[in-house]
Amino acid sequence: MNCLNCNTELNSNFCPDCGQPKTLKRINGYYIVHEIEHVLHFERGILYTIKELITNPGQNIRNYLTENRSRLVKPIIFIIVTSLIYSVSNHFFHFQDGYMSFLDSQKTTTSAILKWVQVNLGYSNIMMGIFIALWTKLFFKKRDYNIFEILILLCFVMGIGMLIYAIFGLVYGLTHLNIMQFAGIAAFIYSTWAIGNFYDRGKASSYIKAFFAYILGMITFSLAIMIVGTLIDLVIKH
């Protein structure tokens, strides 16, 4: 019998070249649950990933990049799942207006983009992460991490940031205390600490560089939105 995927001759239950099973399992309820667990990497545990990223983000992310990529949830999946948790929490408790709102009576393209960013935080976080990664690369240019590895770092860090907002939002929804501004401060402090911890946990300069890289990344992301929105409006008017 040959492999149904690559046509290699089979002498066992799995193809020696591509790993395809000799006989595919029938799709049933158990199969669906297993696939969901596999995509979200629940076999190891998203709660485990959160715990590791809170207690020792630097070491765990370095291990993910250089040693073992099975211990933590995949970074893109992680930021999407955490952003989904954020979005669901905001849907029920409507806490986002407590710290983020865009008012524009002229309905410009810039305001439309900002509203999209507000609604699609998972995708916008990844895009903002690109700007933060560029500044991080600049500030830590002596360290041998490329831009893609820095993006992996930021996916983990910004995912935890989304969870911080969701937790504060839950408290806000239950108590109606005006605490969402503190959520932004807490998320920013964690992000600065985690990035600095990743590069060199023992040096104060590492945290200072992380602080400015994150701030400048957010500023340039906002400026890019304003520039793109303004250019589009100019083109439309002419």
User: What is the pTM (predicted TM-score) of this model?
Assistant: 0.77
CA distance 157 to 201: 15
Q: Give residue 122's region: left, alpha or beta (phi > 0; psi -120 to 50).
A: alpha
- Three-state SS string across the chain, please? CECCCCCCECCCCECCCCCCECCCCCCCHHHHHHHHHHHHCCCCCHHHHHHHHHHCHHHHHHHHHHCCCCCCCCHHHHHHHHHHHHHHHHHHHCCHHHCCCCCCCCCCHHHHHHHHHHHCHHHHHHHHHHHHHHHHHHHCCCCCCCHHHHHHHHHHHHHHHHHHHHHHHHHHHHHCCCCHHHHHHHHHHHHHHHHHHHHHCCCHHHHHHHHHHHHHHHHHHHHHHHHHHHHHHHHHHC
Tell me, what's the pLDDT at 94?
Answer: 78
CA distance 53 to 160: 8
Tell me, what's the pLDDT at 153?
Answer: 96
Tell me, what's the pLDDT at 235?
Answer: 87
The answer to whether the beta carbons of residues 157 and 80 sit under 8 Å apart is no
Q: Could you state, in chain order, the average pLDDT of each consecutive group of 10 residues for the chain (238 residues)?
A: 83 84 81 69 72 94 91 86 86 70 64 79 80 96 92 94 92 87 91 95 94 96 91 84
The answer to whether the beta carbons of residues 207 and 196 sit under 8 Å apart is yes
In the chain, the N- to C-terminal Cα span, in Å, equals 66
Half-sphere exposure of 42 (CA within 13 A, CB side): 8
